[in-house]
Amino acid sequence: MTHAIKRGFIVVLGLLVLLSLPGFLWRPQQRSEVRSHYQTLMAPVFLVPGSSATQNRFNALVKELNRETPATHSLLRVEVKTTGQLVYTGRIQPGDTRPFIVVGFQNHHDGAQNILKQAKWFALAFNALQKTYKFNHFSAMGHSNGGLVLTLFMENSLDQRAVRANRLMTIATPFNLEEDDATVDTPLFKMLEAGRQRLPRQLVVYSIAGSKTFTGDGIVPFDSVNRGKYLFQDQVKGFTQITVTGANANHADLPENQQIVALIRQDLLS
């Protein structure tokens, strides 16, 4: 092989390497981009009950929701023991992409310190379920203190690089606990307010208040539910506050209130 041919071969080889470099550099970026936009078919709906309620709290609600939906949603119930052990009842049916997963707690007592513990226990259950079912997006509903548990979880424990929170519905959630003085901020509310910038930016939030009287639903003061706007507005993609009145607008009956059942179908399951 002459020197001229060798030099030509080397030049051509060099050009091929240079032309290939952008492709090698772009490929990892492309994989990362595809991964960030890809959504799994499964997108569970987590349900978290309030204090004094167990993982069976939403049995009637799920039955009602399944009565008028084209496809039946599975119901998986998880109880988190104080040791962190998870106890499962029910199952997710094969092919069900929108199952309901209820997470309850062995220690389901009221009080700010217990709510903080429950948020950590919920994170344990969520991470275990995500690892098992491989979903990368979800929606959630919390009744009463269950809404606090979910808000704390999204502020402090949700790995937003791995899982996307689509929608959150809180029903009669006392963001300022039982405080009925609008000028007083509880320590828990201050904690939630301090962490609001960590909420998922793409989240859409619906906050529902019951109005049995002009001041609340019989247990939670209306002003406490109303505090949600100070947490979510300007931090998430969308925030809507809804007040439900009329029959079954007292605190305990709200999850089965027909207006709220319709809102769950429309805003969490659509």
The structural domains of the chain, ordered by start, are 44-267 (3.40.50.1820)
- Within 10 angstroms of residue 70's Cβ, the number of other Cβ atoms is 4
Where residue 197 falls among pLDDT bands split at 50, 70, 90?
very high
Give per-residue pLDDT as tens, 33-72: 444 568 999 999 999 999 999 999 999 999 999 998 778 8
CA distances from 41 to 68, 134, 136, 141, 180 (A): 22, 10, 9, 20, 43
**Contacts with 125 (C-beta within 8 Å, 6 or more apart), sequence order:** 78, 80, 86, 103
**Contacts with 189 (C-beta within 8 Å, 6 or more apart), sequence order:** 175, 176, 177, 179, 227
Q: Could you give the percent of the chain with pLDDT greater than 70?
A: 86
Give per-residue pLDDT as tens, 108-137: 999 999 999 999 999 999 999 999 999 999
Mean pLDDT (the chain) is 89
Residue 21 has pLDDT above 90, yes or no: no
Q: Phi, psi (5° rounding) for residue 156?
A: -115, -25
Where residue 15 falls among pLDDT bands split at 50, 70, 90?
low
Residue 102 has pLDDT above 60, yes or no: yes
Helical spans, DSSP H, in 160-218: 187-194
Residue 16 has pLDDT above 90, yes or no: no
Q: Which stretch of 14-23, 112-121, 225-234 has the lowest confidence by average pLDDT?
A: 14-23
According to the model, what pLDDT value does residue 30 have? 46
Residue 29 has pLDDT above 60, yes or no: no
Residue 32 has pLDDT above 50, yes or no: no
Cα gap 186→230, rounded to integer Å: 14
According to the model, what pLDDT value does residue 3 have? 59
Cα gap 37→59, rounded to integer Å: 34
Place of tokens 């899982």: 163
Residue 223 has pLDDT above 60, yes or no: yes
According to the model, what pLDDT value does residue 13 have? 59
Q: Could you give the percent of the chain with pLDDT greater than 90?
A: 73
Q: Name the CA radius of gyration of the chain, rounded.
A: 24
Give per-residue pLDDT as tens, 126-185: 999 999 999 999 999 999 999 999 999 999 999 999 999 999 999 999 999 999 898 999
Give per-residue pLDDT as tens, 249-259: 888 889 899 99
According to the model, what pLDDT value does residue 250 have? 84
